[in-house]
Amino acid sequence: MASKRATDGIVELLGLDNLSRGVKVYTQDNEVIIDLFIIVEYGISIAAVAKNVIDTVKYNVENLTGTTVKKVNITVEGVRV
């Protein structure tokens, strides 16, 4: 059965034990660099997904923590069919 919310699907896909899997965070000179490793669904624009994820992650991290995000790197690990 499909999840009603996207976040439910993410938790279901990763499992509660693996929520930090696919995320690496580095600090450099009081700035944060974030590496994200994602899997996209077939037929969806990878560029659009990457831009949306970068913008959302950067906005939320900066506003919630008060730190400056220098860079968000996206690596597409695969395509789910």
Task: Please report, rounded to a whole number, the percentage of residues in the chain having pLDDT higher than 70.
Answer: 75
- List of long-range contacts for 53-57, beta carbons under 8 Å, 24+ apart: none
The answer to whether the beta carbons of residues 67 and 28 sit under 8 Å apart is no
Show the domains of the chain with their CATH numbers: 19-80 (3.30.70)
- pLDDT value at position 2? 44
Which pLDDT band holds residue 1 (cuts at 50, 70, 90)? very low
Q: Structure pTM?
A: 0.73
Helices (H) and strands (E) in the chain, counts: 2, 3
